[in-house]
Amino acid sequence: MNAPPAGPKTAMVLAAGLGTRMRPLTNDRPKALVEVGGRALIDHVLDRLADAGVETAVVNVHWFADGLEHHLARRTAPRIVISDEREQLLETGGGLKKARPLLSDDPVWVANIDSVWTGGVGALRRFAEMWDPERMDAALLLASREQSIGFEGRGDFFLEEDGRLRFRGQSDSAPYAYMGVHITKPQIVDDGPAGGFSLTPTWRRLASEGRLFGAVLDGVWMHVGDPGARDEAEAHLAGVAA
């Protein structure tokens, strides 16, 4: 009998954004419901999380929230809990902090909805096996710039031999980009400000304390941030399936 997947059983899925860069595809729907390869972006992510053993996904909603809730009501796994941000959009850190009453104090997955990737169904399971709460407060899944589609940045991180992350800082470039999925202790946002705020300053603090870790995705990451990137992702997925 196979052992159950390692890693958190709860996830926070960040789906409340306005999807401004994805217009006109988001003129009548949330970015989470833009389709790539015949499936909504949020379903790509939720399917991956379910495969990794996630039983409950807390999803924040704001833009076209009713349509997203209606779509999610049709899913059977993972169980969906809504964190309602209709009144105020709270960014990554603020969204996680608002959802804290819906989460336990145990580590959680946190996932964006604009990432699609290839590389086997076990990618998140393998990543979860490296999680060590004694050493880590957050662990970020990374993609190499050479194995990325739709990402045009200079990279975010250097990865040390022991798995700790170092921000690009003043360097012209860094080899790895954050690809939108991480494991974290939700308590890291408890002291965050009221209202909306980003997780990035918290990650910078954790990196300075040696508590921010990472691992590299064994596969191709598609950052689906705008209509052109969506088309690139569609073409890549079609080629993989051929």
Which of 46, 22, 41, 25 is CA-nearest to residue 222? 41
- The confidence score (pLDDT) of residue 242 equals 57
Q: Tokens in use for 55? A: 């039983």
Burial 148-174, CB ≥16 within 10 A → b, else e: bbbbeeebbbbbeeeebbebbeeeeeb
CA dihedral over 104, 105, 108, 114, signed as positive or negative: positive
Q: Tokens in use for 14? A: 């960040």
Which of 16, 180, 7 is CA-nearest to residue 82? 16
Q: How confident is the model at residue 122 (pLDDT cuts 50, 70, 90)?
A: confident
Going from the N-terminus, what domains does the chain have, and what CATH number goes with each? 10-241 (3.90.550.10)
pTM, whole model, 2 decimals? 0.95
Q: How confident is the model at residue 7 (pLDDT cuts 50, 70, 90)?
A: confident
Average pLDDT, the chain: 94
Q: If residue 56 lies in a helix (H) or strand (E), which one and from where to where?
A: strand 56-61
CA within 13 Å, CB half, 11: 33
Q: How far is CA 154 from CA 46, 87, 158, 175, 213, in A?
A: 28, 35, 12, 8, 20
Is a pLDDT exceeding 90 seen at residue 139? yes
For the segment 168-222, what is each residue's pLDDT rounded down to a tens digit? 999 999 999 999 999 999 999 999 999 999 999 999 999 999 999 999 999 899 9
- The confidence score (pLDDT) of residue 119 equals 75
Which of 145, 152, 160 is CA-nearest to residue 217? 145
CB 174 within 8 A of CB 168: yes
